[in-house]
Amino acid sequence: MPALRLDLGAAKEPLGLVRGLQWIFSIFAFATCGRYSGSVSFGVSCSGGPNVTVTAAFGYPFRLNRATFAPPLKDLCNGTWAADVHLVGDFAAAAQFFVAVAAAAFVYAAAALAVYLGCLGLYRAGAARLPMADFVATVVFSFLWLVSTSAWAKALTDVKVSVAAPLPGCRPPTTCSAAAVSPAGSLNVSVIFGFLNLLLWAAGSWFVYKETDLHRPPPPPPAAAPGAL
């Protein structure tokens, strides 16, 4: 049985190098999405009076329909709003799916990299099930990155539309004007990292495939000794 020993040379091979990049890029994917927080503000003027700025804070997991404005709109402008006003939309499913895939990819890439660095000989010597299981997992993660990033990109578009919409229920003589919306730059970057991860995992599947018996058939059995029955 091959000895278990640290071999940093595995990190220089495409198999280990791509897995290391997957590990790093998955961190960027869930950090740029999961740590986002922002706000949208409006200036409200009651019957030509001075502006009052109302702000609704929002962030991951982007349940905008739970975000209310402060100070409460129902307390302004003599009952123009009968109840608290919320932002529109619940995009938690897509956001949480994307972050969950990124977190799972981070854990798997770290574990696979540890195997490559610690027991690459065992990985390659006789244990054909290890490369095959690694290949299947890599293909599955490639598919998950495709689905989750596509869903999150669509949800992000809807988030931007929701926070850019006019303040609901504002009617004359009350006037409302958009004051500020937090930039979504890091969220745009999260989508970019999602598609980069898709490319990395798709490319990585090729290098893992080369380790399987599908690409490298097992050696033929030894020839029988002369004169053997």
* pLDDT reported for residue 203: 93
Structure tokens at 108: 């798997």
Cα separation of 170 and 154, whole Å? Answer: 28
Can you give the residue ranges of every domain in the chain?
Answer: 18-209
* pLDDT reported for residue 1: 47
* pLDDT reported for residue 93: 97
pLDDT tens for the chain, residues 1 to 229:
444 555 666 666 778 889 999 999 999 999 999 999 999 999 999 886 778 899 999 999 999 999 999 998 888 888 788 888 889 999 999 999 999 999 999 999 999 998 888 777 777 776 568 888 889 999 999 999 999 999 999 999 999 999 999 988 888 888 888 889 999 999 999 999 999 999 999 999 998 888 876 656 555 555 555 554 4
Give all strands of the β-sheet with 51-59 in edge-to-edge order: 51-59, 37-45, 175-181
CA distances from 28 to 22, 44, 106, 190, 196 (A): 10, 38, 10, 7, 11
